Structure 1
Amino acid sequence: MRFRDLRMPDSCHGGSERNISVPFKVNMGVLSLSWPIFFQLAFTYCMGLIDIWALGMISDAAAGSVGSVNTVTTFVLMMFSFMGQGGSLVYARMLGRGEIKKVQECYFVALVLHVLLGVVMSAALFLWAEDVAGLLGLEGQHLAYGTSFLRIVGGSCLIHSLGAMLGGVMAANGRTRAAMFAAMFTNVVNIVLIGVLVLLPAGPQWGVRGVALSTALATAAGLLFSAWLVFRRIRIRFRRPADPRQVKAHGALLVAFSLPTMLEPAFWQAAQIATTRIIAAVGEDELAARMYTLSITNMIGMVSSALSQGLQIAVGHLVGAGDLDRIRRISRATRLGGIAAASVLALAAALSSHWIMDGFTDSPEVAEAGRLLLWCGLLYLPASSLIMTTASSLRAVGQVNYPALTGILVLWGVFIPLAYVLSLPLGLAILGVMIAMAVDENLRALLLMVRWRYISAPQRAGRLVKEPKEVPSVSV
Structure 2
Amino acid sequence: MGRARVARRRRWNRNPLDSQGENHCGGSGGAERNVIVPPKVNLGVFSLSWPIFLQLTFTYCMGLVDTWALGRISDAAAASVGSVNTVTTFVLMMFSFLGQGGSLVYARMLGQGKHRKVQECYSVALLLHILLGVVASAVLLIWAREMAQLLGLRGPLLSYGTTFLQVVGGSCALHSLVAMFGGVMAANGFTRAGMFAAVLTNIVNIVLIYLLVLLPAGPRWGVRGIALSTALATAAGLLFSAWLVFFRIRIRFRRPPSAERLREHGALLMAFALPTMLEPAFWQAAQITTTRIIAAVGPDELAARMYTLSITNMIGMFGSALSQGLQIAVGHLAGAGELDRIRRITRTTRLVGVGVALTLALLAGLSGGWIMDQFTDSPEVAESGRLLLWCGLLYLPGSSLIMTTASTLRAVGHVTYPAAVGILVLWGVFIPLAYALSLPLGLAIIGVMIAMAIDENLRALLLSIRWRHISAPQRAHRIVGKPKSAPVAGS
TM-score range (shorter-chain normalised) is over 0.9
Q: Does 1:127 align with 2:142?
A: yes
- The answer (yes or no) to whether the contact 1:22–1:321 under 8 Å persists in 2 is yes
Match of residue 22 from structure 1: 36
Output aligned runs, 1:132-143, within 5 Å.
132-143=147-158
Task: Report how far residue 5 of structure 1 moved.
Answer: 5.3
Q: Does 1:380 align with 2:395?
A: yes
Match of residue 109 from structure 1: 124
Residues 184-224 of structure 1, C-alpha deviations (whole Å, 9 max, x = no match): 00000000000000000010000000000000000000000
- In the alignment, residue 266 of structure 1 is paired with which amino acid? A
- The answer (yes or no) to whether the contact 1:8–1:234 under 8 Å persists in 2 is no
SS of the residue aligned with 2:62?
Answer: helix
Task: Report how far residue 242 of structure 1 moved.
Answer: 1.2
- The answer (yes or no) to whether the contact 1:309–1:392 under 8 Å persists in 2 is yes
Output aligned runs, 1:432-443, within 5 Å.
432-443=447-458
Match of residue 353 from structure 2: 338
Q: Distance in 2 between matches of 1:23 and 1:168?
A: 20
Task: Report how far residue 8 of structure 1 moved.
Answer: 4.6
Task: Report how far residue 19 of structure 1 moved.
Answer: 3.6
- In the alignment, residue 411 of structure 1 is paired with which amino acid? L
Match of residue 287 from structure 2: 272
Q: Distance in 2 between matches of 1:318 and 1:334?
A: 15
Change (3 A) 1:428 1:11: closer
Match of residue 5 from structure 2: none
- The answer (yes or no) to whether the contact 1:17–1:100 under 8 Å persists in 2 is no
Match of residue 416 from structure 1: 431
- In the alignment, residue 119 of structure 2 is paired with which amino acid? Q
SS of the residue aligned with 1:13?
Answer: coil
Residues 386-422 of structure 1, C-alpha deviations (whole Å, 9 max, x = no match): 0000000000000000000000000000000000000
- In the alignment, residue 133 of structure 1 is paired with which amino acid? A
Match of residue 222 from structure 1: 237
- Give the one of 323, 345, 351 matched to 1:308: 323
Q: Which runs of 5+ in 2 are unaligned?
A: 1-10, 484-491
- Give the one of 58, 64, 81 matched to 2:79: 64
Output aligned runs, 1:54-93, within 5 Å.
54-93=69-108
Q: Does 1:284 align with 2:278?
A: no
SS of the residue aligned with 2:199?
Answer: helix
Q: Distance in 1 between matches of 2:53 and 2:473?
A: 33
Task: Report how far residue 21 of structure 1 moved.
Answer: 2.0
Q: Does 1:239 align with 2:285?
A: no
Match of residue 314 from structure 2: 299
- The answer (yes or no) to whether the contact 2:148–2:162 under 8 Å persists in 1 is yes
Match of residue 408 from structure 2: 393
Q: Distance in 1 between matches of 2:31 and 2:382?
A: 62
Match of residue 471 from structure 1: none
- The answer (yes or no) to whether the contact 2:15–2:188 under 8 Å persists in 1 is no
Task: Report how far residue 98 of structure 1 moved.
Answer: 1.0
Q: Which runs of 5+ in 1 are unaligned?
A: 469-476
Residues 427-466 of structure 1, C-alpha deviations (whole Å, 9 max, x = no match): 0001000000000000000000000000001111121124
Q: Distance in 2 between matches of 1:96 and 1:313?
A: 10
TM-score by length of 2: 0.93
- In the alignment, residue 92 of structure 2 is paired with which amino acid? L
- Give the one of 47, 53, 65 matched to 2:68: 53
How many residues are aligned here? 467
Q: Distance in 2 between matches of 1:150 and 1:215?
A: 11
Change (3 A) 1:308 1:227: same
State the percentage of identical aligned residues.
Answer: 76
Residues 205-262 of structure 1, C-alpha deviations (whole Å, 9 max, x = no match): 0000000000000000000000000000000011111111100000000000000000
SS of the residue aligned with 1:425?
Answer: coil
Regions of 4+ moved over 3 Å:
2-5, 17-20
Match of residue 473 from structure 1: none
Change (3 A) 1:190 1:24: farther
Residues 28-71 of structure 1, C-alpha deviations (whole Å, 9 max, x = no match): 11000000000000000000000000000000000000000000
Residues 131-186 of structure 1, C-alpha deviations (whole Å, 9 max, x = no match): 00000000000000000000000000000000000000000000000000000000
Match of residue 263 from structure 1: 278
Q: Distance in 2 between matches of 1:387 and 1:464?
A: 19
Change (3 A) 1:127 1:10: closer
Q: Distance in 2 between matches of 1:320 and 1:16?
A: 24
SS of the residue aligned with 1:335?
Answer: helix
Match of residue 488 from structure 2: none
Task: Report how far residue 12 of structure 1 moved.
Answer: 2.7
Q: Distance in 1 between matches of 2:137 and 2:469?
A: 43
Match of residue 462 from structure 2: 447
Q: Distance in 1 between matches of 2:179 and 2:481?
A: 29
Q: Distance in 2 between matches of 1:8 and 1:87?
A: 22
- In the alignment, residue 397 of structure 2 is paired with which amino acid? P
- The answer (yes or no) to whether the contact 1:96–1:320 under 8 Å persists in 2 is yes
Q: Distance in 1 between matches of 2:481 and 2:36?
A: 16
Q: Distance in 2 between matches of 1:10 and 1:38?
A: 24
- The answer (yes or no) to whether the contact 2:174–2:234 under 8 Å persists in 1 is yes
Change (3 A) 1:322 1:10: closer
Output aligned runs, 1:28-47, within 5 Å.
28-47=43-62
Q: Distance in 1 between matches of 2:31 and 2:216?
A: 58
TM-score by length of 1: 0.96
Q: Distance in 1 between matches of 2:342 and 2:354?
A: 18
Task: Report how far residue 16 of structure 1 moved.
Answer: 2.5
Match of residue 191 from structure 1: 206
Q: Does 1:13 align with 2:13?
A: no
- The answer (yes or no) to whether the contact 2:334–2:481 under 8 Å persists in 1 is no
- In the alignment, residue 438 of structure 2 is paired with which amino acid? S
- The answer (yes or no) to whether the contact 2:15–2:190 under 8 Å persists in 1 is no
Q: Distance in 2 between matches of 1:200 and 1:129?
A: 28
- In the alignment, residue 348 of structure 2 is paired with which amino acid? A
- Give the one of 113, 123, 133 matched to 1:98: 113
Q: Distance in 2 between matches of 1:24 and 1:91?
A: 16
Change (3 A) 1:329 1:96: same
SS of the residue aligned with 2:274?
Answer: helix
SS of the residue aligned with 2:219?
Answer: coil
Task: Report how far residue 10 of structure 1 moved.
Answer: 7.6
Q: Distance in 1 between matches of 2:448 and 2:45?
A: 34
